[in-house]
Structure 1
Amino acid sequence: MKTKKALLVIDMQKGSFTPITPRFDTNGVVNRINGLADFFRKMDFPVFFIQHDGNATGEFEKNSWEWELLDELNIKPTDIRLDKYANDVFYKSGLQDKLLELKTQELLITGCATDFCVESTIQSALTKDYDVTVVADGHTTGERPHLSAEKVIEHYNWVWQNMIPTNGKIKVENYAEIIKTFANTVYN
């Protein structure tokens, strides 16, 4: 029996991708997410689009322009959409229940921002014993006071490669490696 996988696309929302908050390699990250989502759908694995809901904070209010997903993302009616309320996607979002219902064991994680919601979700997934694959070139962030966005991404990819997991496992692979593995699985 093949391991049930799910693709998590975290916070790829218009409010995080403005001229005031530019992100590293936005077009490349979006294209890689779209490619992964296509493969997941072909393999009949779920694709989750997760949106931060500011929950009356004045930012990322549900159904506002900021809250909307980027127009460039290819979202299908079969995809699962969830709101989240903290950096950790698992916090009060219903994600855990849905993953258990779908008998999911492995999560491929993408999205924004590397050093906030992506990082927090990875840590949380590991404590819940999921196998985690971080898409090394499938997450992004902005410039930080002491590090460029590119260096933040490089740093976190290194951290995740060197983590000690719980009962699950963690690996960091780039898009091309993942697609090659999926292609071998689907076409062999």
Structure 2
Amino acid sequence: MNRALIVIDVQESFRARPLWETISDPKIAEQADRLVQLARRAGDLVVWVLHSEPGSGDVFDPALGHVRLIDGLERAEGEPLLHKTSHNAFTTTNLQQILTEQGVRELTICGIRTEQCVETTTRVASDFGYQVTFVTDATATNPIAHRDAPADQTVAELLADPRTLPADEIIRRTEYALAGRFATIATVAELEAVAAPQA
């Protein structure tokens, strides 16, 4: 086994926030699951990562019960489940140890949020020498408020502010930043087509 799928932060915490109504792909769990099924059929390792902020009192605090896979995603027996407290999936977990022990050199990465935890993990993985495939349409994100916007801005105010960076623009910029430098960009359908038995 030299490949692994890393599913990052596809968790109920995000659906518990008002900002979920702005998510770029409400069906992100379905897209991630297509990759999970693909990886399992190929005999690749599937690693689940959840973001956790113990004691924070918000949706990422495990005590509130939202730090779990989004309904519809199921972890199979033996698939690692890691809890991170940093943006990337390596720094605060034993992910690299798991990958090394399994002889993994190629990673496919998906999850929430496109430009934050998923992109950061991709960059770190590339720096560690992994060959990375970033599956853009199996990631999701939200519009980002301007740096000068008030911290207590409502969703309506966020969307009405002309300085807000739209989700589709964030995704486009992320692809530009990663492609050819840190990762190969792919879609779920492209990976499925490559894996399909040749006629």
Per the TM superposition, whether the score is higher than 0.5 is: yes
Q: What residue number does 2:154 align with?
A: none
1:114 counterpart letter in structure 2? T
Question: Which 4+ residue blocks in structure 1 deviate beyond 6 angstroms?
Answer: none
Q: What residue number does 1:172 align with?
A: 185
Q: What residue number does 2:137 align with?
A: 137
| Number of residue-to-residue matches in the alignment | 178
Q: What residue number does 2:38 align with?
A: 39
1:58 counterpart letter in structure 2? G
Alignment pair present for 1:111 and 2:111:
yes
Unaligned runs of 5+ in 1: none
2:130 counterpart letter in structure 1? Y
For residues 19 and 69 of structure 2, the distance between their equivalents in structure 1, rounded to whole angstroms, comes to: 15
Q: What is the CA distance between 1:95 and its match in structure 2?
A: 0.2
SS at match of 2:78: coil
- 8 Å contact kept, 2:135–2:186: yes
CA spacing shift, 1:89–1:176, aligned 2, 3 Å? same
* TM-score computed with the length of structure 2 as normaliser: 0.83
CA spacing shift, 1:54–1:18, aligned 2, 3 Å? same
SS at match of 2:64: coil
Alignment pair present for 1:147 and 2:165:
yes
After superposition, the C-alpha distances for 1:5-40 in whole angstroms (9 at most, x for unaligned) are 11111011111123512211121x221211111111
2:87 counterpart letter in structure 1? N
Q: Which has the higher Rg, Structure 1 or Structure 2?
A: 2
* TM-score computed with the length of structure 1 as normaliser: 0.87
The percentage of aligned residue pairs carrying the same residue is 25
Q: What residue number does 1:16 align with?
A: 14
SS at match of 1:137: strand
Q: What is the CA distance between 1:98 and its match in structure 2?
A: 0.2
Q: What is the CA distance between 1:162 and its match in structure 2?
A: 4.1
Unaligned runs of 5+ in 2: 146-163
CA spacing shift, 1:121–1:37, aligned 2, 3 Å? same
What's the C-alpha RMSD, in Å, of the aligned pairs?
A: 1.7
For residues 49 and 95 of structure 1, the distance between their equivalents in structure 2, rounded to whole angstroms, comes to: 10
2:24 counterpart letter in structure 1? F
SS at match of 1:21: helix
Q: What is the CA distance between 1:92 and its match in structure 2?
A: 2.2
Q: What is the CA distance between 1:62 and its match in structure 2?
A: 2.8
Q: What residue number does 1:128 align with?
A: 128
